[in-house]
Amino acid sequence: MMSPAHYLFLSLALFLIGCIGVITRRNVIVVLMSIELILNAVNINLVLFSRIFGDVAGQVFALFIIADAAAEAAVGLGIIIAFFRNRETVLADEMDLLKW
Partner 1 sequence: MTSSNYFLTHLWLIPLFPLISAALMLLFGRLLQKDAVNLFCVGSVFLSFIHAVGAVLALLSFEPGQRVYQQILFEWVTPGPIPAAGVLTPFIADWGYLLDPLSCVMVLVVTGVGFIIHVYSIGYMGHEGGYYRFFGYMNLFMFSMLTLVLANNLMLVFVGWEGVGLCSYLLIGFYFLKKSASDAGKKAFIVNRVGDTGFLLGVFLIATTFGTVRFTSQGLGDPVAFAGISETLAAMLDQGRLAFGAPVFTAIALLLFIGATGKSAQLPLYVWLPDAMEGPTPVSALIHAATMVTAGVYMVARMNAIYQLAPFAMDVVAVVGALTAIFAASMALVQNDIKKVLAYSTISQLGYMFLALGVGAFAAGIFHLMTHAFFKALLFLAAGSVIHSLSGEQDLRKMGGLWNTIPATSRPFLIATLAITGMPLFAGFFSKDEILGRTFARAATVDRYLALWVVGLVTAGLTAFYMFRLLFLAFFGLSRVSPEVEHHIHESPKTMTIPLTILAALSIVGGWFALPALWGEESSFEKFLEPVVRGVIPETAAVKFAHHTLLTEYLLMAASVGIAIFGLSLAYKVYLQYPQLHSKVAASWPRLHNLLVHKYYVDEVYDALFVNRIKDLSIALGLFDAKVIDGLGVDGAGSLARAFSRISMWWDKWVVDGLVNFIGRFTRFLSHPIRMIQTGVFSSYAVMILIGLAILLAYYGHHMQVLVRSLR
First to last CA, the chain: 54
From 1, 3, 85, 99, residue interacting with partner 1 (rule: CB under 8 A): 99
From 2, 54, 88, 96, residue interacting with partner 1 (rule: CB under 8 A): 96
Minimum distance from residue 90 beta carbon to partner 1 (Å): 13
H-type alpha helices, the chain: 4-24, 28-53, 57-87
- Distance between CA atoms of residues 29 and 52, nearest Å: 35
Residue 52 lies near partner 1 (rule: CB under 8 A): yes
Q: Would you tell me which residues interact with partner 1 (CB under 8 A)?
A: 19, 22-26, 31, 52-53, 92-93, 95-100
